[in-house]
A = this chain, B = another copy of it.
Amino acid sequence: MNAVLDYLNAHRDRFVRELCDYVRFPSVSAQPAHKPDMRACAEWLVARCEAIGLEARLCPTAGHPIALARTPRRAGARKPHFVVYGHYDVQPAEPFELWKTPPFEPRIEGTSLFARGASDNKGQHLAHLNAVEAYLATGTELPCDLTFVVEGEEEVGSGNLAGFLKERQAELRCDAVVVSDTGMPAPGLPALTYALRGITAVEIKLTGPNRDLHSGIFGGTVDNPAMALSQLLAQLRDKKGRVNIPGFYDDVVPLSAFERKQLARLPYRERDYVKFLGVPRLFGETGYTAWEQRSARPTVEINGLTSGYQGEGSKTIIPSWASAKLTFRLVPNQSPAKIAQLVKRHLKKFVPPTVRAEFQDGHGGEAYLLDPRSPQAEAGLRALKTAFGREPVLLREGGSIPIVTEFKKILGADTLLLGLALPDDNAHSPNEKFDLDNYAAGQRLSAALWPELAALS
């Protein structure tokens, strides 16, 4: 094990350069224009896996390809098997003008590497690959078989991953899945995330007149779709921060006293949090702490609004249509499909007869909950303590990794969420970054994890 850690330490700078190469690919899965970049990025990853001695290949899907790589198997040996999951696709980088330096030109400042995808998720899964390299390069025997599944559609809902897992169910059946795509509550404070929120997305478009109309000539006789949309959206959330849709909370399991106690132990200073976000004041569901609001309670968010003239100056029109992108963060036991139905049923009920409504379902993903006192969770906590030299905390996280529930269903395995992102890593925002100390700690974590997990089998 010392040889592995020495190797990781000795190659630290090269690993950073490799991560820089990786984040230079603008692998934005949501934007068709970046399809060639997606492929080039995936090919780079496969070549990287092969270079360190893994058997690797690019698997086509109906969408972006999935990189599949595994440690060499010794004939006859029966070892525990773990899957490491990651994603090489990234969020769109817009708005570009808010980046201090271009999103796909990595920049190092102190211990931070700035680039879109640095933290979400390229740096986090590359750390695991680095650790495997250290095992293989030093001739240290891995106590388990490992398979890396790195997909290219996480940011657009992982639409082809479940099918991929089903097709390769025998090959991918494993004792646990390991995912580093979550966060730590503070620098140096490692965390095992035992719950994730789910998500469901609905897009709504209201159309009034069949073209933009002169607001002087026709204004007063026709509804304004942007006004109709505002009125429809306005009543989705009440003044207490509750989602105002009948049945929305029906399946929500109340937080237990134990959980509230765990969450209350997490570091939090309202003044710092307010300053960090840059908001004039916080807003959340009455009766819950900020940690509870952002990780253990469901929400409604408007992700985008579009209507009429948005250019310079004014255009005195009644816009023909108005649209909104909505997502709902869900908690364990809420069904994304059921919530999407409730949302649409509710919205349809309130669409005025003066406009036509069209709905488009977006991606959905179930929330996830793992028993934080299971042997695997405890193995993960020990590896975190070894890697970071500090007692880890138990965390719920507000983000969604819908595929985690698929791992359970298809591969029969629980997922250990061992995240390396810091609260200020700006995932999904301009100036995304990844902490290079966490990158190194992530490599040590991965090195320490396999013996801990393998020992359970």
Write the residues of chain A forming the contact surface with B, with a CB cutoff of 8 angstroms: 29-32, 91-92, 94-95, 98, 156-157, 183, 197, 199, 201, 203, 208-224, 226-227, 229-231, 233-237, 241, 273, 277-285, 290, 293-295, 297, 299-319, 322, 324-325, 327, 329, 352-356, 362-363, 397-400, 423, 426-431
B317 contacts A303, C-beta separation under 8 Å: yes
A352 contacts B283, C-beta separation under 8 Å: yes
Distance of A273 Cα from B217 Cα, bound (Å): 13
A216 contacts B397, C-beta separation under 8 Å: yes
- Some 30 contacts from A to B, beta carbons below 8 A apart, are A30-B314, A31-B311, A91-B315, A183-B217, A201-B314, A208-B279, A215-B301, A217-B398, A218-B277, A219-B294, A221-B277, A221-B283, A222-B282, A226-B324, A230-B234, A230-B305, A231-B237, A280-B354, A283-B354, A301-B317, A302-B308, A302-B322, A303-B309, A303-B317, A304-B308, A304-B315, A305-B310, A305-B322, A308-B325, A314-B363
- Distance in angstroms from A319 CB to nearest chain B CB is 7
Distance of A94 Cα from B312 Cα, bound (Å): 12
A293 contacts B220, C-beta separation under 8 Å: yes
A220-B329, A227-B236, A281-B354 are known contacts; what are 9 more A-B pairs with Cβ within 8 Å?
A30-B311, A201-B316, A210-B278, A215-B327, A221-B282, A224-B301, A301-B318, A305-B308, A315-B325
A428 contacts B317, C-beta separation under 8 Å: yes
Residues of chain B within 8 A of A363, CB atoms compared: 314
A304 contacts B293, C-beta separation under 8 Å: no
A313 contacts B31, C-beta separation under 8 Å: yes
B222 contacts A277, C-beta separation under 8 Å: yes
Distance of A94 Cα from B317 Cα, bound (Å): 11
A316 contacts B308, C-beta separation under 8 Å: no
B290 contacts A329, C-beta separation under 8 Å: no
A303 contacts B215, C-beta separation under 8 Å: yes
A301 contacts B230, C-beta separation under 8 Å: no
Distance of A400 Cα from B224 Cα, bound (Å): 19
Distance of A220 Cα from B428 Cα, bound (Å): 16
Quick one: copies of this chain in the complex?
A: 2
Please judge, given known A-B contacts A30-B314, A313-B156, A319-B304, whether A279 and B223 are in contact too, CB under 8 Å.
Answer: yes
- Distance in angstroms from A366 CB to nearest chain B CB is 14
B283 contacts A329, C-beta separation under 8 Å: no
Distance of A99 Cα from B193 Cα, bound (Å): 53
Residues of chain B within 8 A of A30, CB atoms compared: 311-315
Please judge, given known A-B contacts A217-B427, A428-B213, A430-B211, whether A92 and B311 are in contact too, CB under 8 Å.
Answer: yes
Distance of A316 Cα from B304 Cα, bound (Å): 9
Distance of A436 Cα from B119 Cα, bound (Å): 63
Task: For A31, give its contact among B281, B312, B353 (CB under 8 Å).
Answer: B312
- Distance in angstroms from A67 CB to nearest chain B CB is 21
- Distance in angstroms from A201 CB to nearest chain B CB is 5
- Distance in angstroms from A455 CB to nearest chain B CB is 33
Distance of A158 Cα from B157 Cα, bound (Å): 50
Residues of chain B within 8 A of A324, CB atoms compared: 226
Task: For A304, give its contact among B197, B309, B398 (CB under 8 Å).
Answer: B309
- Distance in angstroms from A281 CB to nearest chain B CB is 5
